[in-house]
Chains A and B, each alone.
Chain A
Amino acid sequence: MSNILTLAYLVPLFPLIGFLVNGLLRKQLNKPLIGIIGSGSILASFIVSLLIFLQVKNGASDVITYFNFISVGDFSIPFAFQIDQLSSIFLLIITGVGFLIHVYSTSYMHEEKTEHFGRYFAYLNLFVFSMLLLVMGANYVIMFIGWEGVGLCSYLLIGFWFKKPEYNKAANKAFIMNRIGDLAFLIAIFWIIGKVNSVGYTEVLAAAQATGDAQVFSAFDLTGITILLFIGATGKSAQIPLYTWLPDAMAGPTPVSALIHAATMVTAGIYMIARSNILYTLSPLTLDIITWIGLATALLAATIALKQNDIKKVLAYSTVSQLGYMFLALGTGAYVAAVFHVMTHAFFKALLFLGSGSVIHAMGGEQDIRKMGGLSKHMKVTNFTFLIGCLAIAGIPGLSGFFSKDEILANAFIKSPVIYGIGLFTALLTAFYMFRLYATTFLGKFRGTHEQEHHLHESPAAITIPLIVLAVLSVVGGYVGIPAFIKEGAHSLNSFLSPVVAESNTILGEHHISHSTEWMLAGISTVLIIIVVIFAWTKFSKRPDTEEATGFGKVLADKWYVDELYEKIIVNPLEKLGGFFNRVMETSVIDGLVNGVGRLVNYGSRQLRLIQSGQVGNYVLLMVLSMLLIFAIQFFLRK
C-alpha cells in the first residue's frame, strides 16, 4: 500500500455504483439487498476515506488528474481530485455520518414499497456521490458540478413523498433559492477564469497572492469574486437572505434532513469559503459582510426557533443558526474554528435529527411537540442520546459543542466584544430552545392520544445503534480541538489543518488573547448556559409550552410566582421576538423578496405573450420595425 491517494477515485465511485445498481435494478432487488448495497457502498467509501485520511495525516497531499474535462486552446479544466487535509476531513464526515444515516434509513424507510425504497437509496447514494465530488474536486468547476448535483438530489429527496402538494412547493422553493446562489457562484467562476485563465485551486490561490507586477486580481476583483462566491454559499448554506428553504425542506424524510440539511450539504458553503480562504483573507470587506450576515442569521434563526412547535422545524432553525455561527467564524478569519464546528455540528445535529426521527417514528408520524411529552420513560436510548445532543449543542463543557463554540466566541471577542456579546446571546437562546424542545418532548406527562401512548416503543437496533455512535462522537468529537488555554498544543485539528490556512494566518497575523481572558470568557458562557439550561429544563418539564397545559399551569401558578415573573420579563418578550421575526422578517421581507422575483418573471411572461398575437401582419411589422431601428442606429448613430 504505497500510496493510497491514487485510489481516491474509489471514494466517489462506490456511491455511484450503489446509485446505478439501486436505481436500475430497484424492481428486481428486495429491501435487505437494497439496504446492504446502499449502506455498503458508503461503508466502502468510508474505509477508503479513512485510509486516505491516515495517509494525509502523515503529510501526504496530492492533486490527482484523471482526464481533461474541457480544453480550449491554452485553457483547460482537468477532471482532478485534490486530496489534502481539508478535503480528507470532509470525506470522513460525509462518508462516516453518511454511512450511519444509511444504516438508520434501512429501518426508518422500511414501510415504503420496495420500489420507492430502492429509489430512496439510489437518490441518497447519488447525493453522497455529488457531495464527494464537491469536496474532492481540485477546481471550482468540479466543485460546481458537485454543487449542482447535491442541489438536485436535495430537490428530489425533499419531494420524495410527492403525494403532499406542500412538499412539492418546498422542493421547488429549495430549488429556486439554490439556483439563485448557484448563479452567483457561476458568475464568480467566470470572473476567475477571465482573470486567471484557470479554475484550479492551486493556480487561483497562487494568483491571488501575487503582488506587484505579477498581480492578477485587483482589490475590486477580489471583493467581487468573494462576494459572489459568498452569495453562492448563502444559497446552499441557508444564510440570510436565502435561508427560508431549509426549514421548508423538512418536508423530506427525516434521515434526509439529518444527512443533507444538517450534516453535509448545507456545510458546502463553509467548505467553499474555507477552501478559498486566501481570497477571503485578502478582501477584508467581504469578511466583514460574512461576519455580520452570519451573526444576523444565527440570531434571527435562533429567535424563530423559540416559537416553533414542530420538532423538525426547531432543529431546522437551529441548523440555520449554527450555520450562521460557522459563517461568523469564517468572517473573523477563524477558518479552522469553522471547520471544527462543521465537524462537531455534523455529529450532534445528525444525532438530534435522527433522534427526532426515532421520536416521530414512535409517535406514528406526529411531529408536533405539544402532543408529545414524557417520552423518556418509553424510549430510553433515544432519550439519552437526544439529551447528549442537546447538551452538546448547548455548549456544556466536556462535550464537543463546547469546544467548537468556545473557539468561535473567542475569535469573535478578538474581532469585537459586540460581536461576542451577540454571539453569546445567541448561544443562550440556543440552549433555551433546545431544552424547551427536550423538556417538552421527553419530560413531563404524555399529551398524545391513548392509541399513540400504547404504541410508544423504543426503535429497533438499526436506529438506535447510529444514535449511540453519534452520541459517542458528540461527546468525544471535541477533543481534537482542545483550546490552548486548557492545554498548550493539544489542538490537533489546528495543527492538522495548518497547511491549508497557513497563508491566511500569516496575513491575518496571530491575535491571541491572554489565557486568563479566555478562561474568563469560557467561564461566563458556561455559567450562563447552565443557568439557562436549568431554567428551561425546570420550566418546560413542569409546565410545557402548550395550550392544553394551562389548567395544569394555573394550579402551579402561586407556587411559581418567580416563574411568572420570568415569564413576563424574559420569556414573553423572547417569544414575541420570535414571533415577530417569523412573521415580519421571514414572511414579508425575505419570502416577499424571493416571491417578488418570481412574480416579476411571471408578469414579464404574460406581457410578452401578448405580442404573440398570432397575426402574420403584426409579426412582420415588428420585424420590419426592428430592422428599421437597427439600420437607423447603425448608419446614423454608430459612426
Chain B
Amino acid sequence: MPIIYYIILSIALFSIGIVGVLTRRNAIIIFMCVELMLNAVNLLLVAFSKMHYNAALKDGLVAGADGQLFVFFIMVVAAAEVSVGLAIIVMMYRNIHSVDVNFLNRLKH
C-alpha cells in the first residue's frame, strides 16, 4: 500500500474527529471524538513505522520499533486521560445534571 493511502485515511479520521468536536454538545461524545483523533494518529504512526522499517531494511538495518512504542505510550496517556476526564464529567454531572457543554457559560468576558 502506498503510504499516502494511510496518510489520507488517517487525516480523514482525524478530521472526522475534529468535526465531531465542533458539532456535538455532549461532553462525552466530544471526548470520544478526541479518542477518534488519537486513534487516527496511532494508525498513521504504525504506518510510518512500517514505512521506515521497509526503508531501513534495504540497508540491512532495523527501524520502526520506536513508532510502535510511541503508539503504546499514546495508549497509556489516553487511558490516563480517560480516567481523569470521565471523573471530571461525572463531577460536572453531579452538579448540574447535564453533560451539555453549552451550559458551560458561566465564565465569560
A and B directly contacting (CB within 8 A): yes
A residues at B contact (CB < 8 Å): 609, 612-617, 620-621, 624
- Please tell me if the beta carbons of B106 and A620 are within 8 angstroms of each other in the complex: no
B residues at A contact (CB < 8 Å): 18, 21-23, 25, 30, 101-102, 104-109
Q: Please, which residues of chain B bring their CB within 8 A of the CB of A616?
A: 30, 101, 104
Bound state CA distance, A616 and B24, in angstroms? 11
Q: Please, which residues of chain A bring their CB within 8 A of the CB of B25?
A: 617
List 15 A-B residue pairs with CB atoms under 8 Å apart, sorted by A's residue number: A609-B109, A612-B108, A612-B109, A613-B105, A613-B108, A614-B104, A614-B105, A614-B108, A615-B102, A615-B104, A617-B25, A620-B21, A620-B22, A621-B22, A624-B22
- Please tell me if the beta carbons of B22 and A614 are within 8 angstroms of each other in the complex: no
Q: Please, which residues of chain A bring their CB within 8 A of the CB of B102?
A: 615, 617
Q: Please, which residues of chain A bring their CB within 8 A of the CB of B18?
A: 624
Known: A612-B109, A616-B101. 8 other contacts (CB 8 A): A613-B108, A614-B105, A614-B106, A614-B108, A615-B105, A617-B101, A617-B102, A624-B18
Shortest Cβ gap from B27 to chain A (Å): 9
Q: Please, which residues of chain B bring their CB within 8 A of the CB of A617?
A: 22-23, 25, 101-102
When C-beta atoms are compared, the residue in chain B nearest to A609 turns out to be B109
Bound state CA distance, A616 and B104, in angstroms? 8
Q: Please, which residues of chain A bring their CB within 8 A of the CB of B109?
A: 609, 612
- Please tell me if the beta carbons of B101 and A614 are within 8 angstroms of each other in the complex: no
Shortest Cβ gap from A308 to chain B (Å): 43
Q: Please, which residues of chain A bring their CB within 8 A of the CB of B23?
A: 617
Bound state CA distance, A252 and B25, in angstroms? 58
Q: Please, which residues of chain B bring their CB within 8 A of the CB of A620?
A: 21-22
Shortest Cβ gap from B98 to chain A (Å): 14
Shortest Cβ gap from A433 to chain B (Å): 50
Q: Please, which residues of chain A bring their CB within 8 A of the CB of B104?
A: 614-616
Q: Please, which residues of chain B bring their CB within 8 A of the CB of A613?
A: 105, 108
Q: Please, which residues of chain A bring their CB within 8 A of the CB of B30?
A: 616
Q: Please, which residues of chain B bring their CB within 8 A of the CB of A621?
A: 22
Bound state CA distance, A620 and B102, in angstroms? 13
Bound state CA distance, A615 and B100, in angstroms? 11
Shortest Cβ gap from B79 to chain A (Å): 23
When C-beta atoms are compared, the residue in chain B nearest to A612 turns out to be B108
Q: Please, which residues of chain B bring their CB within 8 A of the CB of A609?
A: 109
Bound state CA distance, A613 and B105, in angstroms? 7
Bound state CA distance, A162 and B14, in angstroms? 59
Bound state CA distance, A609 and B109, in angstroms? 5
Bound state CA distance, A620 and B109, in angstroms? 17
Bound state CA distance, A616 and B25, in angstroms? 9
Bound state CA distance, A617 and B21, in angstroms? 7
Shortest Cβ gap from A554 to chain B (Å): 63
Shortest Cβ gap from B28 to chain A (Å): 13
When C-beta atoms are compared, the residue in chain A nearest to B19 turns out to be A624
Bound state CA distance, A505 and B106, in angstroms? 68
Q: Please, which residues of chain A bring their CB within 8 A of the CB of B107?
A: 614
Shortest Cβ gap from B86 to chain A (Å): 17
Shortest Cβ gap from A393 to chain B (Å): 53
Q: Please, which residues of chain A bring their CB within 8 A of the CB of B101?
A: 615-617
When C-beta atoms are compared, the residue in chain A nearest to B23 turns out to be A617
Bound state CA distance, A443 and B107, in angstroms? 66
Bound state CA distance, A612 and B104, in angstroms? 12
Shortest Cβ gap from A374 to chain B (Å): 59
Bound state CA distance, A624 and B22, in angstroms? 9
Most buried by A among B23, B105, B106: B105
Q: Please, which residues of chain B bring their CB within 8 A of the CB of A624?
A: 18, 22
Shortest Cβ gap from A631 to chain B (Å): 12
Shortest Cβ gap from B100 to chain A (Å): 11
Kindly list the 5 A-B residue pairs having the minimum CB-CB distance in the complex, ordered from nearest.
A614-B108, A614-B105, A616-B101, A609-B109, A614-B107
Shortest Cβ gap from B41 to chain A (Å): 16
Q: Please, which residues of chain B bring their CB within 8 A of the CB of A612?
A: 108-109
When C-beta atoms are compared, the residue in chain A nearest to B25 turns out to be A617
When C-beta atoms are compared, the residue in chain B nearest to A615 turns out to be B105
Shortest Cβ gap from A115 to chain B (Å): 38
Bound state CA distance, A624 and B106, in angstroms? 23
Most buried by B among A613, A617, A624: A617
Shortest Cβ gap from B70 to chain A (Å): 23
Bound state CA distance, A624 and B18, in angstroms? 8
Bound state CA distance, A621 and B101, in angstroms? 14
Shortest Cβ gap from A241 to chain B (Å): 34
Bound state CA distance, A547 and B35, in angstroms? 83
Bound state CA distance, A621 and B22, in angstroms? 6
Q: Please, which residues of chain A bring their CB within 8 A of the CB of B105?
A: 613-615
Bound state CA distance, A615 and B102, in angstroms? 6
Q: Please, which residues of chain A bring their CB within 8 A of the CB of B21?
A: 620
Bound state CA distance, A621 and B21, in angstroms? 9
When C-beta atoms are compared, the residue in chain B nearest to A625 turns out to be B22
Bound state CA distance, A609 and B108, in angstroms? 8
Bound state CA distance, A514 and B65, in angstroms? 94
